[in-house]
Amino acid sequence: MRVTSEPAISSRESVVAAIRATRLIFLVSGIGMAAWAPMVPYAKARLGLDDAQLGLILLAFGGGSMVSMPFVGWLSHRFGNRRVIVASGLLLCLALPVLALAPNAAVLTVALLYFGVMLGAVDVAMNAHAVEVERRDGRVLMSGFHGLFSVGGLTGAAGMSALLALGLPLPVAALTVSVLLAALVWYLRGGLLPEVDDAAAGHAPFRMPRGVVLLLGLLCFVSFMAEGSMLDWSAVFLRDFRGFEPSSAGIGYACFSIAMALGRLTGDRLVQQLGPVWAVRAGAGLAALGFVLAASVSWSPISLCGFVLIGLGASNIVPVMFSAAGRLPGTSPAISIAAVTTLGYAGLLSGPALIGFISKLSSLPVAMVAVAGLLLMVAASARIVRR
């Protein structure tokens, strides 16, 4: 009996270690991405950029992520998620000091492109790894992993801001964060699962998404579009339509972000109880209600409550979609997740621009109601994530 139980104990210990390592890499990714946010005003001032020039340069960040994701899906499928996570995680840490020191717009653009490529690589590989960890553990874990990414986002922005507030020069602060992140990546490498999934060997790694993968990607497009609208338009909405001062209009996005983090940290239990289909239905419906309340009720506290509902509702849609993509038969989880993530990022990048176009034709509240309508379509299509 003792001999036969040892492999089971060893296997369980490896799963527990993999869960811990996966949580850490989601945290690292969130910190690394958000650490750039407090650096943006410094880059703008140092290089003398106007808003239009900065906006064009920032497109390199999202573009780098989108371009790299399909290729990274193949790399993860070919060499294993652990190798891609560790390599891209360490290479990611080189970007922040370069961003802090970029002497001109061209170098900043290339650095942002590189930054986006490495973040996209980590994103795809860590989600594919999370699907495998979830499968081996037998429990719903994806929302909690994404919750740690949200916590990392808050930590990265606050931590970099704190270092700068203490008087550290920007390059020193960026190097400090990079060294800490590199140490974390190196520490967690031993807990990541080493196996390469060969179940989908022989399937073409580069192809246009179709069928279920395409539909999952389009639903993620809508969810990311809703998140992007909060990032880019919530402060404008509160300032122009609810009378907030520019200095306090950012409270709307803060309400959304905190609600999303809380929703994801508690989301695994919710998905386990409701099931993935009803978790998506309820979440998309709640987020749609939040958009309608914020857009249609002129009392400011109701608008803020609407942003909270959007954060809570949208929090678990993408994690459930990623889990569903990773479980699709006949293809590698990394390749499916790469396709879905690419379409999702397209929503994050193009969605706010579409909202601006609708707003110009009508108004920003009407554009927000349009997003609510798209979220109701997500709720109606929720059966696609059935186990």
**Can you give the pLDDT at residue 327?**
81
Q: How far apart are CA 230 and CA 223, in angstroms?
A: 11
What band does 37 get if pLDDT is binned at 50, 70 and 90? confident
Q: What is the mean pLDDT of residues 289-300?
A: 92
Q: Give yes or no for residue 240 having a pLDDT over 80.
A: yes
| Tens digit of each residue's pLDDT (9 = 90 or more) over 178-223 | 999 999 999 988 889 886 554 444 444 545 555 788 889 899 999 9
| Tens digit of each residue's pLDDT (9 = 90 or more) over 266-288 | 999 999 999 999 999 999 999 99
**Can you give the pLDDT at residue 3?**
38
Of 345, 379, 376, 327, give the one whose Cα is nearest residue 128: 327
| Tens digit of each residue's pLDDT (9 = 90 or more) over 141-186 | 999 999 998 898 888 888 888 898 898 999 999 999 999 999 999 9
| Tens digit of each residue's pLDDT (9 = 90 or more) over 49-98 | 876 787 778 778 878 888 888 888 888 878 888 999 999 999 999 999 99
Q: Which amino acid appears at position 379 of this protein?
A: A
Q: How far apart are CA 135 and CA 226, in angstroms?
A: 29
Of 291, 324, 295, 322, give the one whose Cα is nearest residue 309: 291
Q: Which amino acid appears at position 263 of this protein?
A: G
| Whole-model pTM over 0.85 | no
| Tens digit of each residue's pLDDT (9 = 90 or more) over 3-33 | 344 445 457 788 889 999 999 999 999 899 8
* Structure token pair of residue 73: 């899906």
Cα-trace Rg, the chain:
21
Distances (CA, A) of 210 to 162, 214, 232, 334, 340: 45, 5, 30, 16, 10
* Structure token pair of residue 42: 């410094």
Q: How far apart are CA 310 and CA 154, in angstroms?
A: 18
Q: Give yes or no for residue 348 having a pLDDT over 90.
A: no
Average pLDDT over the chain reads 85
Q: What is the mean pLDDT of residues 221-248?
A: 83
**Can you give the pLDDT at residue 76?**
82
**Can you give the pLDDT at residue 245?**
83
Q: What are phi and psi of 213, to 5 degrees?
A: -60, -45
Q: What are phi and psi of 200, to 5 degrees?
A: -105, 20
Half-sphere exposure of 226 (CA within 13 A, CB side): 41
**Can you give the pLDDT at residue 106?**
93
Distances (CA, A) of 234 to 24, 161, 225, 280, 309: 30, 22, 13, 23, 13
Under a CB-based contact definition with an 8 Å cutoff, are residues 282 and 274 in contact? yes
Residues 6+ apart with CB under 8 A from 199: 332
Of 248, 185, 216, 241, give the one whose Cα is nearest residue 347: 216
Residue in the block written with tokens 């994701």: 69
**Who wins on pLDDT, 217 or 331?**
217
Scanning the chain, the segments in alpha helix (DSSP H) are 2-34, 40-47, 51-79, 81-92, 95-101, 105-137, 142-165, 170-188, 211-241, 251-265, 267-274, 276-296, 300-314, 317-326, 333-361, 364-380
